[in-house]
Every structure is written in C-alpha cells, then in structure tokens.
Amino acid sequence: MLGQSKLWISFNYACVAVAYAMLSLSLMLMPVDLSTKGYVGMGILFLTGSLITLVKTLQEQRINDQFSSKLERAKHEKILEDYVTKA
C-alpha cells in the first residue's frame, strides 16, 4: 500500500462519505422538478462508476509496468551474469 496508514485511508473514506452526503442534500434541496433531480442523480452515479473504473485501470497499468520492469531487470542481470561467467 506504499506506506499509507489506516488513518489516512479512513480519512479518505470519510471525505468521500461527506462529499456524497453534501451532494445528496444539495440534490434534494434543488428547486427543480423530480425528473431533473433524477437526471442529475444518474449523472452522479455514472461519473462515480467511471472514476472507479479509471482508478482501477490506472492501478493495474502501474502494477503491470512495475512487473515488466522487474522482468526486464532480471533478464539483463541474467545476460550480464552469463557474460561474466563466460569471460
């Protein structure tokens, strides 16, 4: 987890919860008809899903890049080791 403490993770969860609560409250108190509130609410849900998918994709890409880098480093070390032992 790259050194992230449980307190930091809990703080982030709390921030997301407060943000959604404030967004829900403002959506309920918005002076528009119900269909407009529903439209905005669906937009919020789709945006949330898209952000989760984006974060997951970026994380997987970073993990794959790290793995590829380790694999390349191991190959280079093996080639160097073979060269040194032959010389």
The pLDDT value recorded for residue 2 is 61
Residues 75 and 85 in one domain: yes
The pLDDT value recorded for residue 83 is 83
The pLDDT value recorded for residue 68 is 86
Find, among 14, 20, 51, 13, the residue nearest to 28 by Cα: 20
Residues 47 and 65 in one domain: yes
Which tens digits make up the pLDDT trace of 52-62? 999 999 999 99
Residues 23 and 41 in one domain: no
Which tens digits make up the pLDDT trace of 24-47? 999 999 999 999 999 999 999 999
Residues 51 and 15 in one domain: no
Residues 53 and 83 in one domain: yes
How many domains are there within the chain? 2
Residues 8 and 44 in one domain: no
Residues 45 and 80 in one domain: yes
Minimum mean pLDDT among 3-7, 11-15, 35-39: which range? 3-7
Residue-number span of the structural domain to which 24 is assigned: 1-30
Is 41 within 8 Å of 30 (Cβ atoms)?
no
Element (H, E) at 29: helix 6-29
pTM exceeds 0.85: no
